[in-house]
Each structure stands twice: as C-alpha cells, then as structure tokens.
C-alpha cells in the first residue's frame, strides 16, 4: 500500500511539473504573439482575458462568447451528471471545433500556410513558440489586412 502511495505521489508530482512548464511556455509564447500584434504582452497573464485577446486578434469576440458558452454548458452538464453527461459530449465536441478553428485563424492572421496551421492544431505549444519568435508579421484577423494596433510595420 505504501508503494502505491509513493507511485501516485510521484506521478502527481510529474504531472504538476509538466503542467507548470506548459503554463510558462503558453504565457511566454502569447506574450510575444500579443506584442507582435500590437497588444500589451501582460494580457497573456490573465486566463480568460488572454483567450478573449486571442479571439479578438484572430477572429472576433462573438466566437469567444460562443466558445465560453459551450465551455460553461459542458461543465454544467457534467456537474448535473446522469444522462446530461452524454449531452455534454456534444457540447465538448463543439468546444473542440471552435478551438481548432481558432488555431486556423491564428495561423492565417500571421500569414501561415496549411502545414503550419496543422502544427498549431496538433503540436500547439511548439508551434506557438515558433510563431512567437519567428519573423512573421501580424496581418489582421484571419490575415485580411485589418490589423489592430501597431503590429504591421507599414501598409506597403
């Protein structure tokens, strides 16, 4: 029994360590991405506000409202339990679809192609760091050239 406890504590410690490393990576990457787009980098430190800022820069705030609505409904249905958990899977699927579309919009907002966007979807922390530190420029929501802030050097 004591060995099982030690294994579980060790496993939990590893999970906490990996989670903290990922948290630092996400904050660092979004800090530099926001700075590229002309937004203050400190917005990456505030959990829901950073997600709102990503949607504002890459898509629109209505999609953020949809995303948060799906997220809240999913959690309420899971909390209710019973048959509601099955319905929560549908809302969870909707949340995943919006997250994937957000990655697509983020890639397009910085002029990235399909390969990079697939990387953003499947290897998100790595490709966020690449996006943060490469020489790409912010082109506006979905790459349409309507940039907010000072992210674009000049409209040539």
pTM for the predicted model, two decimal places: 0.81
SS3 12: helix
Residue 145: predicted pLDDT: 67
- Rounded CA-CA distance 51/12 in Å is 27
> Looking at residue 86, what is its pLDDT?
87
CA-to-CA distance for 2 and 150, rounded, in angstroms?
Answer: 58
**Backbone dihedral angles phi then psi of residue 151, each to the nearest 5 degrees:** -70, -25
What was the pLDDT predicted at 156?
32
Cβ(34)–Cβ(53) under 8 Å? yes
Position 155 scores a pLDDT of 32
Left, alpha or beta for 154 (phi > 0: left; psi -120 to 50: alpha)?
Answer: beta
Domain boundaries, given as residue ranges, for the chain: 2-143
CA-CA distance, 15 to 74, in Å (whole number)? Answer: 24
Q: Is 19 exposed, middle or buried (0-12, 13-18, 19+ CB in 10 A)?
A: exposed
| pLDDT recorded at residue 146 | 56
What tokens does 31 get? 């800090």
Per-residue pLDDT of the chain (156 residues; tens, 9 = 90+): 788 899 999 999 999 999 999 999 999 999 999 999 999 999 999 999 999 999 999 988 889 999 999 999 999 988 888 888 888 899 999 999 999 999 999 999 999 999 999 999 999 999 999 999 999 999 988 777 655 444 443 333
**In this predicted structure, what is the pLDDT of residue 18?**
96
């Amino acid at each position: 029994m004591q060995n099982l406890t030690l294994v579980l504590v060790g496993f939990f410690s590893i999970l906490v360590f990996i989670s903290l490393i990922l948290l630092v990576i996400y904050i660092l990457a979004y800090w530099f991405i926001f700075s590229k787009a002309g937004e203050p980098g400190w917005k990456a430190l505030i959990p829901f506000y950073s997600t709102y800022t990503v949607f504002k820069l890459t898509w629109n705030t209505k999609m953020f409202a949809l995303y948060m609505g799906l997220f809240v409904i999913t959690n309420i249905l899971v909390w209710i339990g019973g048959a509601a958990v099955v319905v929560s899977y549908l809302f969870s699927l909707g949340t995943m679809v919006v997250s994937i579309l957000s990655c697509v919009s983020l890639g397009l907002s910085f002029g990235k192609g399909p390969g990079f966007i697939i990387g953003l979807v499947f290897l998100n922390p790595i490709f966020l760091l690449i996006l943060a530190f490469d020489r790409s420029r912010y082109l506006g929501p979905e790459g349409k050239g309507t940039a907010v802030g000072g992210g674009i050097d000049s409209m040539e």
